[in-house]
Amino acid sequence: MPLLSPFRLAKLPQLMSVALLSCALVVPAAHAAGKKDDKKPVAAASAKKAGAKESAGKTKVVAEAKGGKAGKSEKSGKADKAEKTAKGGKSDKAVAAGKHGGKTTVAKAERAERAERSSSRKHLAKAGAAAGGAALAAAAVAAPIEPARQSYGQMAGLHAVTDPLDLQSSVAYVVDQDTHEVLLRKNDQAVLPIASLTKLMTGLLIAQAHLPMDEMITITQDDVDTEKHSSSRLRVGTTLSRSEMMHLALMSSENRAAHALGRTYPGGLSQFVQMMNAKARQLGMKDTRYVEPTGLSSSNQSSARDLALLVSVAHGEPLMREYSTSPGYEVAVGRRTLQFNNTNRLVKSDNWDIGLQKTGYISEAGRCLVMQAQVSGRKLIMVFLDSAGKFSRIADAERVRHWVEGMGPTASNVIAQRIRG
């Protein structure tokens, strides 16, 4: 192998430098040629202060590879705008560059922001509910719980008396209207408050007084309940006929209507109450006493046997039968039409043939019910007083009906002997 001349040895470092420089230029050029026209994001602007808006220019470097040449670059004059918002302490969200020409998409960022807002609202709602529940719980603990007020029958221990029908009423009395045979008796001599059963006597006096039923009567402040503070749909100033007042008093147990009937009776309210007591004595109701015509006062008292006498007499009045068993009734009050319904749902039942009925309730009396009904071909008068539970008086009536229908008159005599009042 020939030796290199001194001249060539002197040029050797320069040749090696050129070769290395060529390699350094060719490799990036080849790499750039493999990705023709691709664009890369170079820099994104960052905000320095929360709430300030500023724009930052982004420089794009475009690499081209033509004929093995590389390294040429150009700066794009376009600047992307980055906006920073400081609502609710939220941080800025970067907008990422997408494919195909570097187009940006904000859909993901918007969805993320909506999800964050929704999550915040849910957290606030849960926190509010928790705070409200805690406040209610604290109020419940702080408020004293008053025990339910006992009825006169409960205080007297009448509910301790049992019967084969397992009635929930502490007083019960069932008698044949035609034969006067007592089928069932339970504490029938007990004298208790009778609540709105009082309205049977109120209606009976009006029906027998032969007053003009089309005479208009106006509800006044005197008719407003100041004892139990019960509500009424008949506002002060409402004017209805005497017939309509009587209908509402017997069917819907309207207290203001019943009071207005007594107040407008000839001689006034005091005279009417005297007539109520006089009628009771005339009918042989020895255990009965009235102080007002609605039944709101616990001083209106009677016994089951006395009430059976009243039901039998009241059943003889056509208006008493019609109004007390009416399922519903509409009255025009000014520009309004009010719908009133019967307080006894049994009047709508196909299983019952009811000729007269009345319900009643105040806390001192418990739930009360009297009826005249035909069961298995017999005209029966039923009296239930001081029933425990909202629907128990209805259930007691159903028990008696099933018993009479299924057992017959022979079993009724056995039951009457076994129950001790």
What tens digit of pLDDT does each residue of 184-222 get? 999 999 999 999 999 999 999 999 999 999 999 999 999
Distance, CA of 56 to CA of 58 (rounded, Å): 6
**What does each C-alpha distance from 375 to 89, 406, 410 come to in angstroms?**
78, 11, 15
What pLDDT shows up at residue 102? 43
- Residue 36 is assigned to a structural domain of this protein: no
Quick check: is 120 catalytic? no
User: Residues of the chain with pLDDT > 70: what percent?
Assistant: 62
At residue 141, the pLDDT reads 53
Active-site choice (151, 169, 170, 196): 196
On whether residue 304 sits in a domain, the answer given is yes
Residue 108 lies in a domain: no
**68 domain-assigned:** no
The C-alpha atoms of residue 58 and residue 68 are separated, in whole angstroms, by: 28
User: What is the total count of domains within the chain?
Assistant: 1
Q: Which residue has the tokens 């001790």?
A: 420
Contacts of 148 (CB under 8 A, 6+ apart): none
What is the per-residue pLDDT for 47? 39
Written as six digits, the tokens of 415 are: 């039951």
More confident residue, 45 or 168: 168
Report the chain's mean pLDDT, rounded to a whole number.
78
User: What CATH code is carried by the domain that includes residue 166?
Assistant: 3.40.710.10
357/372 Cα distance (integer angstroms): 6
Query: Is 138 inside a domain boundary?
Result: no
Catalytic residue from among 253, 303, 324, 387: 253
CB 293 within 8 A of CB 209: no
Q: What is the pLDDT of residue 55?
A: 41
pLDDT digits (tens, 9 = 90+) for 371-417: 999 999 999 999 999 998 889 999 999 999 999 998 755 544 555 54
Backbone angles phi, psi at 247, to 5 degrees: -60, -50
pLDDT for 81 beyond 50 = no
- Residue 37, pLDDT above cutoff 60: no
pTM recorded for the entire structure: 0.65
Residue range 43-66: mean pLDDT, rounded: 39
Amino acid identity at 271? Q
35 is annotated as an active-site residue:
no
25 in a structural domain: no
Question: Which among 58, 84, 186, 199 is annotated as catalytic?
Answer: 199
Give SS3 for 357: strand
What pLDDT does 389 receive? 87
**Mean pLDDT value of segment 50-77:** 40
Predicted local confidence at residue 149, as pLDDT? 85
Residue 163 lies in domain: 152-418
Q: Is 91 a residue of the active site?
A: no
